[in-house]
Structure 1
Amino acid sequence: MKKLIIALGGNALIQKGQKGTAEEQFSNIRKPVAQMAELSKDYHLVITHGNGPQSGNLLLQQEACDEVPKMPLSVIGAQTQGQIGYMIERTLDEELMRLSMADEKLFLTILTYTRVKEDDPAFQNPTKPVGPAYPDPKPGFVKTAKGWRRVVPSPKPYKIYQYREIKRLMQDNFIIIACGGGGIPVFKKNMKLKGVEAVIDKDLATAKLGEQIHADIMMIATDEEKVALNFGKPNESRLDELTIADAKKYLEEGQFPAGSMGPKIQACINFIEAGGEQAIITSVDNITEALAGTAGTHFHL
């Protein structure tokens, strides 16, 4: 069986216009998880996910309450890994029972750390908005469509610390949920791990984990069914496939903005160049079809 790693975008849990209640999130996650339960018949499966809306809500709760100590981003990242891992696990359990596979497939959420480098240039240029938005300017904040928000660095992921445990569990037929929110950013100092006030792109972290576990296929499941050139313009064109050379060229030309499709394209480039067999970008509704080759944008050398 081939190794398949799937990154779920934020819309897999909270869609535009929703408040993000537990009921909404469980309802939204059902369709992609049902597809992945089916795919686990034929693939060793790792699931990764974003955590932007969930961590934003926790940060907002912190800002609204002074009765308890405020937690750093590293701890909030760990909290969301547990929260979203539980939602995926519970839904996966139900879908495996529906398929009469509950006794065949085991699953586990892995609390995941991601190594970053202290000298990463991102620490000199924070760009990632986090937490609540305010109507008035504040030091260290930037103007966004929602208002003024705090920005933190988004350094590159260099290593997923738990990759060996994940590889071993996959050999024992576990479905693994890992790298939530890109992993908890840490670096080592004086033989100790230190959490960092940063946010790691979950697609880049997924590509790094895929490289470390020698995954055959990486899929990024997002809002769009295919990658588009000239997105939102009259001459928009959807792509069935992209060579790595063309992907790099379009990335340099600015076709894929850093705040949306850019990191996804870069993650596919990284994965293929590291030895991955296939990388795919598609929507959360078309996971099965994309693997069958009838949906999504497929990347190759």
Structure 2
Amino acid sequence: MRLVVALGGNALLPRGKPLTPANQVEAVRGAMRILAPISMQENLVITHGNGPQVGMLATLTAQAGAEFAEPFDVLDAQTEGMIGYLIERELRELLPALRQVATLVTLVEVDPKDPAFEDPTKFIGPVFDKDTAEKLAADRGWVVKPDGDYWRRVVPSPVPSAVPGIHTVDALVESGCTVVCVGGGGVPVAWDQVARSYTGIEAVIDKDLATSLLAYQLSASLMVLATDVEGVYEGWGTPAQRLIKTAGPEYLRSGHFPAGSMGPKVTAAAEFAERSLNGEAVIGALGDLAAILDGTAGTRVSRQYSGVTYY
């Protein structure tokens, strides 16, 4: 079975912990202990987020002055390589020597006229109080928005339209290699018709939407969007909250889910289910991955389901 698993931010940095190398390695090691046995049984592709890491790099390079500030396509590539290295290193420690793992810095094509560039929404980097965030915005030309009780920088998050290197990923998967790719949503690029080449774009693509596109183009049987909750709740945080067991994509699209948390995952799961002939998307906890593969955990989304059922 072709299985694509997207690791959420908490698989790379637990909530409330600072972005130190030790904390990141510890989190990645724990995630790989779960994924290593799966990679021995299935054709596994791993994707991951990069929000905290790319935000920190952007902040550090900005401090050096405008002349030295790296563009976001380069920052995305740097974090994709760094996080992919940690994942591959820890995974290789747990797999037999002959089991192959490959990490790819992956281009992902976007439309430079995407409306997302007019209204940045992707949170990156650390949190600030309102006064600090507004001062940084004024000093550095950032756009900042409230994120819960704090404020954070936001950047454009255009919709991914193609993965130019998909045939390379497909060939590696077909050979039995575990592949780490489309990290942080991939490196955002646009095709220049005049120059006949790709141009880097200042953005951070949502990793769940990029994973959905990748899974579809790979004809994956199952796409798992791993997070730190059991699945999708209707009425989250209210006395009437219910954990969804199965849903058709049209049902999920009709719901109301927070744009900054579960919303992108719901959209990505619905898109994969709509595009795929027989594929299924699941949103659930990484620690429940074995049960997800058994069909007993997570919120499952497929065209075969009509309406909604609950646990």
- The answer to whether TM tops 0.5 is yes
SS of the residue aligned with 1:239? strand
Aligned counterpart for 2:181 among listed residues 165, 178, 181: 178
Find the counterpart in structure 2 of residue 261 from structure 1.
Answer: 262
Partner Cα distance (2:48, 2:60) in 1: 22
Q: Deviations over 1:231-271 (max 9, x none)?
A: 01111111121122211221xxx2x1211111111111111
Unaligned runs of 5+ residues in structure 1 are: none
Structure 1 residues 200-215: aligned runs within 5 Å: 200-215=205-220
Partner Cα distance (2:292, 2:182) in 1: 22
| AA partner of residue 214 (structure 2) | L
Find the counterpart in structure 2 of residue 102 from structure 1.
Answer: 97
TM-score w.r.t. structure 2 length? 0.88
- Deviation of 1:66 after TM superposition, in Å, equals 4.4
- Deviation of 1:149 after TM superposition, in Å, equals 4.4
1:121 aligns with 2:111: no
Partner Cα distance (2:8, 2:17) in 1: 15
- Deviation of 1:294 after TM superposition, in Å, equals 2.1
TM-score w.r.t. structure 1 length? 0.91
Question: Judging changes above 3 Å, is the alpha-carbon distance between structure 1 residues 102 and 68 closer, same or farther for their aligned structure 2 residues?
Answer: farther
1:160 aligns with 2:163: yes
Partner Cα distance (1:38, 1:215) in 2: 19
| AA partner of residue 180 (structure 2) | I
Question: Judging changes above 3 Å, is the alpha-carbon distance between structure 1 residues 136 and 195 closer, same or farther for their aligned structure 2 residues?
Answer: same
Find the counterpart in structure 2 of residue 65 from structure 1.
Answer: 64
- Deviation of 1:129 after TM superposition, in Å, equals 3.4
Among the aligned pairs, what percent are the same residue?
A: 39
Find the counterpart in structure 1 of residue 134 from structure 2.
Answer: 136
Aligned counterpart for 1:284 among listed residues 279, 283, 286: 286
SS of the residue aligned with 1:290? helix
SS of the residue aligned with 1:225? coil
Given that residues 129 and 149 in structure 1 are in contact (C-alpha distance below 8 angstroms), is that contact kept between their aligned partners in structure 2?
yes
Structure 1 residues 208-227: aligned runs within 5 Å: 208-227=213-232
Unaligned runs of 5+ residues in structure 2 are: 304-311
1:50 aligns with 2:49: yes
Q: Deviations over 1:160-185 (max 9, x none)?
A: 11110000011111100000110111
Q: Deviations over 1:6-54 (max 9, x none)?
A: 0000000111221122221111122321222111222111000000011
- Deviation of 1:63 after TM superposition, in Å, equals 3.2
- Deviation of 1:277 after TM superposition, in Å, equals 1.7
1:296 aligns with 2:298: yes
Find the counterpart in structure 1 of residue 309 from structure 2.
Answer: none
Question: Judging changes above 3 Å, is the alpha-carbon distance between structure 1 residues 39 and 147 closer, same or farther for their aligned structure 2 residues?
Answer: closer
Q: Deviations over 1:78-137 (max 9, x none)?
A: 0001110111011101111xxxx222x200101101100122121222222334543435
| AA partner of residue 208 (structure 1) | L
Partner Cα distance (2:158, 2:66) in 1: 32
- Deviation of 1:148 after TM superposition, in Å, equals 5.3
Question: Judging changes above 3 Å, is the alpha-carbon distance between structure 1 residues 131 and 26 closer, same or farther for their aligned structure 2 residues?
Answer: closer
Partner Cα distance (2:134, 2:273) in 1: 44
Question: Judging changes above 3 Å, is the alpha-carbon distance between structure 1 residues 237 and 163 closer, same or farther for their aligned structure 2 residues?
Answer: same
Partner Cα distance (1:148, 1:245) in 2: 33
Partner Cα distance (1:272, 1:58) in 2: 35
**RMSD (Å), alpha carbons:** 1.8
SS of the residue aligned with 1:136? helix
Aligned length: 291
Partner Cα distance (2:39, 2:125) in 1: 35
Q: Deviations over 1:173-226 (max 9, x none)?
A: 110000011011100112121111111110000010111111111000012111
Given that residues 73 and 187 in structure 2 are in contact (C-alpha distance below 8 angstroms), is that contact kept between their aligned partners in structure 1?
yes
Given that residues 73 and 188 in structure 2 are in contact (C-alpha distance below 8 angstroms), is that contact kept between their aligned partners in structure 1?
yes
